[in-house]
Amino acid sequence: MQILQGKKILLGISGGIAAYKTPELVRRLKDQGADVRVVMTEGAKAFITPLTLQAVSANAVSDSLLDTQAELAMGHIELAKWADFILIAPATADLIAKIALGMANDLLTTLCLATAAPIAIAPAMNQQMWHNQATQNNIKTLMSYRYSIFGPGAGEQACGDIGLGRMLDVPELVTLTCEQIAKTMPDANSSEQKPLSGQHWLITAGPTREAIDPVRYISNHSSGKMGFAIARAAQELGAEVTIISGPVNLSTPESCQKISVTSATEMHQQALEHAPAADVFVACAAVADYRIDHIASEKIKKSQDTMQLNLIKNPDIVADVAALANKPFTVGFAAETQDVEHYARDKLARKKLDMIAANNVAAAGQGFNSEDNALTVFTATDEKVLPLMSKNELAKQLVQHIQDKLSKSLKTKS
């Protein structure tokens, strides 16, 4: 049976250009068996008409808190009680701020206060607005209220900027909605234990930053999306998950513990501290190979045409975890631009890993800062190709493959 079959989903739409995607979102939710009702803000109606959404949802669209006819039946309370799940997409910076402050000056914000249903928001705004400290504080507030944050995605925006802030595409929003409802509304007849129950997964994610002086650093283009997707997939299958993350602009998956670090040495310290208690260690972070020999205490002035930086090698996190006496099942990543299989197999053997997932980050449309990725997964005895797909779906397949290999490994040892 479809996860959304018979579920009552309230779709809230605020005034962003991404509102043009919402008729397709309604269609796809209905394809999954959901009954969808739509609530629009005044701003949303500047981008998409209520009539369009009424046609695709087959339900009347609500757009006013002070609708006299609706209020005869306490319409906002009726909607709040009706919903099994509320998805707000797009969620503008303005709407996010209002909800975080507990405001109730229109129908949509009032519903958020009046409902007991789980709520997810899909942010959509200019990249600078997303990074603004006020927006980030509001997001943290909503997370503390147990709101789920779907996105945002990265890429070219309507204003011409490039970066985080785009609303996720419809297929990903539908997938995340299904996943969230599966977690918050489990089948009452199901007593089946999840396959990773009782396991502790430790995952590194994102880039590291190696300071040059108080204002500059060396880093890379890793967004952390792949590592966080793996963490989410493992958690949904029942694992206890800890993420050791470099600087990223991602929401921590629900029920996962996040340890924030900046440099490779900090990540190395945390990894070695937590790895002995882990069943699986996935080294997904893009760790800087080198760091500055001497970090300047003051900003280095531009006084010469050339400047020399002395670099020293960083500790090898995944190799040191694999060398532990009581090591977890250790999975490395090899992000390469050429001879991917050669370098991956060499790293697998040299660092004594149980598995390595290799990807070509030079290929268009996959790898760093992309929504999609493709992997070839190697062990000492075989390989498995995971073709180009969304990082969320790829993570699920990788986690399942790791679990299959781990189970075989445990059977062999016993």
Whole-number Å distance between alpha carbons of 367 and 414 = 38
Query: What is the phi-psi region of residue 409: left when phi exceeds 0, alpha when psi lies from -120 to 50, beta otherwise?
Result: alpha
Separation between Cα atoms, residue 122 and residue 119, nearest integer Å: 10
- Produce one character per residue of 16-26: b if its CB has 16 or more CB atoms within 10 Å, e if not: bbbbebbbebb
What are the angstrom distances between the C-alpha of 124 and each of 7, 36, 127, 164, 177? 25, 21, 9, 9, 17
The one catalytic residue among 112, 159, 178, 256: 159
Separation CA 24–CA 120 (nearest Å): 18
User: How many Å apart are CA 305 and CA 80, to the nearest integer?
Assistant: 64
Neighbours of 33 (CB within 10 A): 13
Q: How many CB atoms lie within 10 A of CB 194?
A: 12
**Pairwise CA distance, residues 111 & 413, whole Å:** 55
Listed in sequence order, the residues at least 6 apart from 264 whose beta carbon sits closer than 8 Å to its beta carbon are 208, 210, 287, 288, 291, 314, 315, 317
Is 284 a residue of the active site? no
Which 3 state secondary structure label does DSSP give 334?
strand
Surface-to-core class of residue 73, CB atoms within 10 Å of its CB (0-12 exposed, 13-18 middle, 19+ buried): exposed
The pair of three-digit structure tokens given for residue 95, joined into one six-digit string:
């709407």
3-state secondary structure of 21: helix
If DSSP codes are grouped into helix, strand and coil, which group holds residue 200?
strand
> Could you say which DSSP state residue 243 is in?
E
Q: Which residues are catalytic?
A: 159
